Chains A and B, each alone.
Chain A
Amino acid sequence: GNSVTQMEGPVTLSEEAFLTINCTYTATGYPSLFWYVQYPGEGLQLLLKATKADDKGSNKGFEATYRKETTSFHLEKGSVQVSDSAVYFCALAPLQGGSEKLVFGKGTKLTVNP
C-alpha cells in the first residue's frame, strides 16, 4: 500500500541553521508529493508540492525535490527563522484516486531558538 515515512522529531535548531527533514514514500507509480506546515493551534497549510519526477517545489525559502530513484522528497531550508517553528507533514496523493487518497507522514516538530 501507499505510505510516507518522515524522520522522527523533535528537531531543535538555532536561528540561521540549515534544515533538512527527510521524507521517503512507498507508492504505486508516481504520486504527487506535498509538504504541509502546521503552526500551533492551527490547521495545516500547503507549503509546497511536486507532481512529477525531478520537479522542485519551493516556497518561503523551503525547497524539496521529487526523487523517484530514491523515492524521496526531503524538505530543506538554508537559514531557518524562529517563525519557522511548527510541525511539518510530508504527504502523497496516488496517481489514481484523486486527492481523497492523501496519505500523511506522522509529522516532524521543528523548534528554532533565537
Chain B
Amino acid sequence: DGGITQSPKYLFRKEGQNVTLSCEQNLNHDAMYWYRQDPGQGLRLIYYSQIVNDFQKGDIAEGYSVSREKKESFPLTVTSAQKNPTAFYLCASSPMTGSSNQPQHFGDGTRLSIL
C-alpha cells in the first residue's frame, strides 16, 4: 500500500544535540511538508518542498533544516538552535497539479521530547 512512513515514532534529544526525523513516501508525490503540532495550536508549517533539491521556509523554520535529495525522502533536522523542540512532528505529501484541491496525505508522526 502507498503511504508515508515517519520514523522513529518517539525520539529523545539531549541539550545541544541535533536530531533527524525521517519521512519517506511511496505515493510518487512531488510536494512534501513538515508540520509541528503543539496542544491547542493546530499545525504550523516548518518547511515544504515542491521538487527535488528545492525547499521553502514555512512559518516557523528557525532552528530547523531539511534536505530533498530524493523525491521520496524529506528528512527534518531539529538543531540545537531550536530552544523548544518538544512537540509532535508530522510529515505530509501531495501531488502538484497547479490547483488547490489536492489534499495532503499525512504520516503517523514523530513525538520528540527533551531529556
Contacts and interface: CB of A to CB of B under 8 A. Distances in A.
Q: How large is the interface on A (under 10, 10 to 19, 20 to 34, 35 or more residues)?
A: 20 to 34
Given A104-B43, A105-B42, A106-B40, A99 B103 contact: yes
A70 interface: no
Contact of A49 (B48, B90, B99, B103): B103
Interface of A: 31-32, 34, 36, 41-46, 49, 51, 89, 93-102, 104-107
B100 A99 contact: yes
B42 A89 contact: yes
Interface residues of B, number: 29
A43 B105 CA distance: 9
A97 B48 CA distance: 13
A99 B43 contact: no
A104 B33 CA distance: 14
A83 to B, nearest CB: 18
Given A42-B108, A43-B90, A99-B31, A93 B101 contact: yes
